[in-house]
Structure 1
Amino acid sequence: MKLSTYLFFNGNCEEAFKHYEKVLGGKIVAMMPHEGTPAEAQTAPEWQKKILHACLEIDGQMLMASDAPPEHSGGPMQSVAVSVNVPTPEEAERIFKDLSDGATITMPIAETFFSPRFGMLTDRFGTHWMVGAEMPAEMADCGVKTSEMA
Structure 2
Amino acid sequence: MNKVTPFLMFQNRDAEEAMNFYTSLIEDSSITNIARYGANESGDEGTVMQATFMLKGQEFMCIDSNVKHQFDFTPSFSIFLTCDTEEELDLIYGKLSEGGQALMPLGDYGFSKKFGWLNDRFGVSWQLNLPN
Q: Is this a same-fold pair by TM over 0.5?
A: yes
Name the aligned partner's letter for residue 89 of structure 2: A
Gaps of 5+ in 1: 137-150
The structural deviation recorded for 1:32 is: 1.8
The structural deviation recorded for 1:63 is: 2.2
Name the aligned partner's letter for residue 73 of structure 2: M
More helix by share: 1
The structural deviation recorded for 1:118 is: 0.9
CA distance in 2, matches of 1:17, 1:58: 10
For 2:33, the equivalent position in structure 1 comes to: 30
For 2:71, the equivalent position in structure 1 comes to: 75
Which residues of 2 match residues 42-121 of structure 1 at below 5 A? Answer: 43-44=42-43, 47-71=44-68, 73=69, 75-78=71-74, 79-121=76-118
Aligned length: 128
Name the aligned partner's letter for residue 5 of structure 2: S
> TM-score w.r.t. structure 1 length?
0.75
Q: What's the CA shift string for 1:31-66, capped at 9, x where partnerless?
A: 221228xxx64x14xx12110122221232212211
CA distance in 1, matches of 2:78, 2:101: 14
Gaps of 5+ in 2: none
Percentage identity across aligned positions?
26
After superposing on structure 2, the runs of 4+ consecutive aligned residues of structure 1 that deviate more than 3 Å are none
Name the aligned partner's letter for residue 117 of structure 2: M
CA distance in 2, matches of 1:106, 1:67: 25
Q: Is the 8 A contact 1:107 1:119 kept in 2?
A: yes
More strand by share: 2
The structural deviation recorded for 1:2 is: 4.6
Which structure has the larger Rg? Answer: 1
The structural deviation recorded for 1:88 is: 2.1
